Amino acid sequence: MDAGSFLSALTPLNIAFAFFGVVAGTVIGSIPGLTATMAVAVLVPITFSMEPASALILLGAIYTGAIYGGAYAAILLNTPGTPSAIATTFDGYPMAQRGEGDLAVALACFASVFGGLVGALALLFLAPPLSRVALAFGPVEYFWLAIFGLSLIASLSTGNLLKGLAGGAFGLILSTVGVAEISADIRLTFGSQTMIGGFGVVGALIGLYCIPVLIDLAATPDRHLSIETGVQSVRVGEAARVAMRSKFNLLRSSIIGTLVGILPGAGGSVAGLVAYSEARRSARPEQRFGEGEPDGIIATEAANNATVGGGFIPTLVLGIPGTPPDAVILGALLVQGVRTGPGLFQSGGGSIAYTFIYGLIIATLLMLPVGLLIGRYAYKSIVAIPKAMLVPSVGFMTLIGTFAIRNSVSDVIIMIGLGVFGWVVSRFGFAASPIVLGLILGPIAEQGFVQTWIIGSATENLPGMFFGRPISQAIVAFTLLSLMYPVFAARRRRRAGVDRGAGS
Amino acid sequence: MSNKVENDTGGQLGSLIVSAVFVIVGVVTLYDSLSYSDIDSKVFPRAAAIVLIVCSMLSIVGSLLRPVREPGFGRGAWWRRILLVVSMLAACLAMPQLGFLPAGFIAFGGTLMASMHDRWTIQAAAVFLTSSILIMVGFYSLFRFVLNVPLP
């Protein structure tokens, strides 16, 4: 860490790269189907002729912008622009529906900037010690982390836990379609070649979240989003006050995002879900998560942007990418001749690492004005555009976005089919979110479970493998707490009500 | 009043049918798992299938013993819903033959007609046609030429 690296990051060229990266990333991330990984991968070739530090700054800015950009579609269209923004839809879209989309967009921006800064500061000050966390996580910890994420089903299925669990189990089954990762058995394809690749997560997300909205929008003449008193600009001041009130949630979610980002393979979607789950568990009685609660957006967006800095910790220190975009950036680094490892943070290679980290901080700060400005126009456009133009435009985006993932027409047909299925079942109490949770967390849970099972069987210590490791025990305890806390809280409220009644 | 009747009948029956479909999915998954050669491939889908079957059956029993009102399909024009889905599927089927952009016109046109609730006028048609072409060509160019996606 030195002043020279800071000044190197502050050159007009690097600031221009950071600005361009944030704008490009935000726009790409806001288009359903284009993920942060794709945004980074598509723009990697541009960086080959650049200085290594500038290339890293540009890629980091694109990545952080894309993760934030996913919130726009999640809030305004109920479609996560990137998988990291899944939990943003839970409260973002209800807020937009009741006319507070402008506030939701501004809140997402503040939370993303805060989370991004916490992740980048962790990368700046704590990278070598924190990278050990990645090595402490074995298959069993991943398994329990996935189960912790799945425990969110309990709180997402208020009033109908059985249907939520059924939806989650259905999502888990969908996640097993195709070639099994460990044993290479072909499962649930029924002889179809197109199913061998399995259900793509992004296509499934687009189908399950976006198609039902389009079907509902087309069927009735109701407005897409209600507006209270004409179109407002983004409510910056109000959003800042709400974010300040939720500073503990902001900090906790950012730390969760940083820690989950460090874990290879977990990523922004898991971080957002875990942070949302914790925010919901610790909610005040008057907070209504799932019905447009600002704290839900704050938790998710702070966590998913914190994974950017967190994910770079194992990438730069250990050479193990924390998230898929990190893997692409790692490839770009190797092309540039930069060798990752602890030495990158010491003399010599250190200047590049620190210039990059300062550049990432600058890009994250630039996200505040850029994000609010783009958010303002995105919100105004979505509420002003006639429904007869909005529905076909979004429909066309879903087609082209899903096709672009694997260049497959079959994926688009599966996306539409899943969307229609999601719309039908949601009409009878089976929400899309538990299905999506199962689909996303299924592969992580299965791989962790099977590997733990194999190791436990080989060492003849299955209970010890599943329950004997300290980190596993902590995650199991948090999972139980998440599942039981709503019951305890309801009982405590009832008891308090009885006591008050007896006192009066 | 009519809405209430709809909630009481359609929602309840639909919930039972969806739960029954999930039970069938679980049974099919269990059956399919018999053909896997490795025990590692069987454990997880079987566990998920059992959870799915148990939860769905309990949901059926719960719905019969203690009916809960579900929204059902609610109000809205069915022809618009069907037109939207059919035009998108038709575009997918036409894509390999016609190419992405002409097939996209089928989806765009169908969904536009499905979601048009105002009266058609010549001016509105001209504005929508122009906007549609601009949006589709814009996105096509972005994906085809900037992002190098090999669109058919």
What tens-digit pLDDT sequence spans chain B (152 residues)?
334 444 444 667 888 999 999 999 999 999 999 998 888 888 899 999 999 999 999 999 988 887 777 777 877 889 999 999 999 999 999 999 999 999 999 999 999 999 999 888 999 899 999 999 999 999 899 888 877 788 88
- Domain ranges in chain B? 2-65, 78-146
- Chain B nearest-CA distance from A423, in A, is 9
Instruction: Tell me whether A385 touches chain B (CB under 8 Å).
Output: no
Residues of chain B neighbouring A174 (CB-CB closer than 8 A): none
The answer to whether the CB of A340 falls within 8 A of the CB of A317 is yes
Q: Which residue has the tokens 């719905």?
A: B63
- Residue of A28, A62, A163, A224 to mutate, interface with B, max B Cβ within 10 Å: A163
| Cα A128 from Cα A46, distance rounded (Å) | 30
The rounded radius of gyration (Å) of the Cα atoms in chain B is 23
Alpha helices in A79-190 (DSSP H): 86-97, 101-136, 139-150, 152-156, 161-176
E strand map for A171-307: 178-179, 186-187
∠ CA A334-A339-A341, nearest 5°, is 130
Taking only the tens place, the pLDDT of each residue in A191-209 is 888 888 888 887 888 888 8
| Cα A290 from Cα A158, distance rounded (Å) | 9
Provide CB contacts within 8 A for B152, sequence distance 6+.
A409, B95, B96, B99, B100
- Chain A nearest-CA distance from B82, in A, is 9
What are the structure tokens assigned to A107, written together?
Answer: 């809140």
Q: How many CB atoms lie within 10 A of CB A212?
A: 22
Q: Report ipTM (2 d.p.).
A: 0.90
Provide CB contacts within 8 A for A69, sequence distance 6+.
A25, A26, A27, A28, A29, A30, A81, A82, A374
Taking only the tens place, the pLDDT of each residue in A36-70 is 777 787 777 777 778 888 888 888 898 889 888 88
Entry pTM = 0.80
Residues of chain A neighbouring B125 (CB-CB closer than 8 A): none
Which of B26, B62, B143 comes nearest A162 by C-beta? Answer: B62
The answer to whether the CB of A98 falls within 8 A of the CB of A118 is no
Residue A85 is classified by DSSP as G
| Cα A251 from Cα A257, distance rounded (Å) | 10
Instruction: Tell me whether B149 touches chain A (CB under 8 Å).
Output: yes
| Cα B30 from Cα B46, distance rounded (Å) | 6
Burial class (CB in 10 A: 0-12, 13-18, 19+), A450: buried
Within 13 Å of residue B147, how many CA atoms lie on the same side as its CB? 27
Within 13 Å of residue A23, how many CA atoms lie on the same side as its CB? 9
Grouping H, G, I as helix, E, B as strand and the rest as coil, residue A179 is: strand
- Chain A nearest-CA distance from B2, in A, is 17
**Nearest chain A residue to B29, by CA:** A188
Instruction: Tell me whether B115 touches chain A (CB under 8 Å).
Output: yes
- Residue of A157, A161, A170 to mutate, interface with B, max B Cβ within 10 Å: A170
